[in-house]
Structure 1
């Protein structure tokens, strides 16, 4: 089988190795497609070298077909189409209060342990979600990042008829916007990259460039001065933090989607003055995966427009290099069977 490894120093290797039988409680998946995530790009840049066990096979946004079952695995058959929810919560403690997706000792498969950028991948069966036979495996590779979005929207409590502003029109931002729109909300995307603004409009979303248009006035005009009921901060930059408390209306909810590795200034007075709520949202839970699978299966939202390129697994070094030089791209998939 063909496999890849991150070697450090912006380097991947492609090599052949023996196909391994799944251990007890595991399944072997013939991997179809793997999406390149922003976290994977951080790994490529060396930003997670202290966490990743180099050399390591990475990748966690995937789809595939069960190829073999380990001892004790029930409920699945060879040939089933599946995706993996890449959270290993086997070290969860009572102090985690049952929220195992954010448990203190959570391990993220594909970062803390070997991932999907290989032809065959052995994973614990408890991570699997079964797909319908007719599911498009290219679209199914979007289920993991889509589940981030469904979790974010669920945590926000967004309802039909409310107004949501999404700060940041990258892959996760646009997925959040599409899920928010699916709930029946009015959605506005704020993004400075014109190519991404065009992509948002192609997806049927209202999108504006806050450098060219006063976002606060734009939202005021759209909402009869009520401003946003929900704000999703997805950009991860200081201007978005400055904007989120301005664009939120009275008793607005702000969902922190972006990861801020350092302390940042936030206008806490606005939380007092408008009775705002700040909501943290991290990865996803089982119900978010099931919601995403239902959205992909229904095929009513143009998720296929999020896929900007598909490359064979053997091109992994070129793919990561191209992502660095092409920030306009959305979702690149690796074809693990080419």
Structure 2
């Protein structure tokens, strides 16, 4: 079979290797599609070399079909369509309080262990989620990032009729906005990239450029002065941190989706003055995956617009180079059987 290998120094190679027999408790998947996410790009840039065991196959956004079921696995059969929830949470402690998805010793499959950018992939059976037979496997490759958005919205406590502002109109920001709108919210995206603003409009979403308008005043006008009930910080930049507390109305909730690797200034006075809440949201839980699967299966939202390119697995080096040249794209899928 073909497998891709990250070698460090912004280099991938495609190798031929034997197809492994699944061990006890494992299932072998014939991978259909594997999406490239921001974390994969960070790996490509060498930002996670201390964590990734080089050389290694990466990837965690995927869809596929069960090819073989290993010993001691029940409930799965060959030919079933599946996706992987790539969290190895077996090393839980009492101090994790039952929140296995963010347990202290959590291992992320596709980063801390081999991932999906290969033709066949052996994984523990407990990370699998079944899909319906009619599910489009291209769209199913979006389930992992969509689950992030579902988790973010669920953690926010958003209800129909509320106003949410999404700071950042990249792939996760767009998915958060779509899920929030599906929940019945009035959604406004703040994005500085004009191409992505146009893309948001094609998704039926309202997006504005905060460098061209007064964003706080705009939201105030849209809400009769109430401002936002929920602000999703997805951009990960200081201007978003500066404006998030201004955008949130009285008792508003701010959901921290972006990863800030260093301490940043935040206007804590606004939390006191308006009784705001700051909510952290990381990865997803089983129920978020099931909700994402239901949304993909229903296919009532324009998920197909998220996929801006599909490339054969053998083109992996070119794919990552092109993402650097065209950061405005949304989701690139690798066809893992080509």
Equivalent in the alignment of 1:294: 294
Q: In 1, distance between residues paired with 2:112 and 2:88? A: 10
Equivalent in the alignment of 2:105: 105
Equivalent in the alignment of 2:48: 48
Deviation at 1:327, TM superposition (A): 1.0
Q: In 2, distance between residues paired with 1:10 and 1:261? A: 22
Q: In 2, distance between residues paired with 1:67 and 1:213? A: 53
Equivalent in the alignment of 1:250: 250
Tell me if 1:131 matches 2:166.
no
CA distances 1:98-143 after superposition (whole Å, capped 9, x unpaired): 0000000000000000000000000000000000000000000000
Equivalent in the alignment of 1:335: 335
Deviation at 1:165, TM superposition (A): 0.2
- C-alpha RMSD of matched pairs (Å): 0.3
Q: In 2, distance between residues paired with 1:103 and 1:168? A: 28
CA distances 1:73-96 after superposition (whole Å, capped 9, x unpaired): 111110000000000001011110
Equivalent in the alignment of 1:7: 7
1:311-326 pair list within 5 angstroms: 311-326=311-326
Deviation at 1:220, TM superposition (A): 0.5
Equivalent in the alignment of 1:224: 224
Provide the secondary structure at the position in 2 that maps to 1:42: helix
Q: In 2, distance between residues paired with 1:213 and 1:73? A: 57
Q: In 2, distance between residues paired with 1:127 and 1:233? A: 28
Provide the secondary structure at the position in 2 that maps to 1:263: coil
Q: In 2, distance between residues paired with 1:264 and 1:319? A: 33
Provide the secondary structure at the position in 1 that maps to 2:116: coil
Tell me if 1:59 matches 2:35.
no
Equivalent in the alignment of 2:37: 37
Equivalent in the alignment of 1:209: 209
TM-score, scaled to structure 1:
1.00
1:173-188 pair list within 5 angstroms: 173-188=173-188
Equivalent in the alignment of 1:72: 72
Provide the secondary structure at the position in 1 that maps to 2:34: strand
Q: In 2, distance between residues paired with 1:74 and 1:130? A: 13
CA distances 1:133-175 after superposition (whole Å, capped 9, x unpaired): 0000000000000000000000000000000000000000000
Q: In 2, distance between residues paired with 1:332 and 1:217? A: 36
1:266-277 pair list within 5 angstroms: 266-277=266-277
1:138-217 pair list within 5 angstroms: 138-217=138-217
TM-score, scaled to structure 2:
1.00
CA distances 1:41-65 after superposition (whole Å, capped 9, x unpaired): 0000000000000000000000000
Q: In 2, distance between residues paired with 1:20 and 1:47? A: 30
Q: In 1, distance between residues paired with 2:118 and 2:217? A: 49
Provide the secondary structure at the position in 1 that maps to 2:77: coil
The number of residues matched between the two structures is 338
Give 5+ residue unaligned stretches, structure 1: none
Tell me if 1:283 matches 2:299.
no
Tell me if 1:86 matches 2:86.
yes
Q: In 1, distance between residues paired with 2:73 and 2:213? A: 56
Q: In 1, distance between residues paired with 2:56 and 2:243? A: 39
Q: In 2, distance between residues paired with 1:79 and 1:4? A: 24
Q: In 2, distance between residues paired with 1:113 and 1:86? A: 10
Equivalent in the alignment of 2:24: 24
Deviation at 1:213, TM superposition (A): 1.2
Deviation at 1:178, TM superposition (A): 0.1
Give 5+ residue unaligned stretches, structure 2: none
Equivalent in the alignment of 2:303: 303
Q: In 1, distance between residues paired with 2:214 and 2:198? A: 18
Over 2 Å off, 4+ runs: none
Q: In 1, distance between residues paired with 2:328 and 2:4? A: 25
